[in-house]
Amino acid sequence: MLFGDQEVLGKDFDFGPASPPLRIIYKAGAGTVHGSVQEGAANVLLLPQNGASQLVRATTSASDGKFEIRSVAPGDYYAVAFSHSVQSADVSVLVLPDFLGSLSGRMAVHVETGSTASLNLRLAPWPK
């Protein structure tokens, strides 16, 4: 994401009538993360290890625990499954270092361009 000539992905910026153009550049070759949650249906989160809250991805696994997240930007993530329903208000805390460090049951995953990463997750308790 470019705001004028500056990279602004993961940063706060002011946008107004006299602002430079905002450009969003999509790259081909995103990856996929799929797998299963051993306990069945759950909320599955993919959290960027670099703390970019705009890149948090979420899905709900099926009753048999299977899930898939497509169009994932290449990079390093933590994957975790919760029975807790994740609200939009939770997203800002999801990428804080203290929150990430408190997650039990998180699994590190590296997503490559055009590849598929497979995971087998266990349900984790929501941090207090």
Chain segment 15-60, per-residue pLDDT in tens: 888 888 888 876 677 899 999 999 999 999 898 887 766 678 889 9
Question: Which two structure tokens, joined as six digits, stand for 65?
Answer: 């625990």
- pLDDT at residue 49, as a whole number: 84
At 93 the pLDDT is 67
Q: Yes or no: say if 78 and 100 are a contact pair by the CB < 8 Å rule.
A: yes
Which domains are seen in the chain, by residue range? 28-121 (2.60.40.1120)
- Three-state DSSP at 99 gives helix
pLDDT at 89: 47
In the predicted structure, residue 11 carries a pLDDT above the cut 60: yes
What span, in angstroms and rounded, lies between the C-alpha atoms of 60 and 68? 9
C-alpha to C-alpha distances, 103 to 35, 77, 93, 95, nearest whole angstrom: 19, 13, 12, 11
Reply yes or no on whether the pLDDT at 122 is more than 70: yes
84 — phi, psi (to 5°)? -60, 135
Structure tokens at 28: 């081909």
Residue 126 tokens read as 């929501």
- State the average pLDDT over residues 73-91: 77
pTM of the model: 0.71
Cα separation values, 54 from 11, 18, 35, 47, 105, Å: 10, 25, 23, 10, 22
Say which amino acid occupies 126.
Answer: W
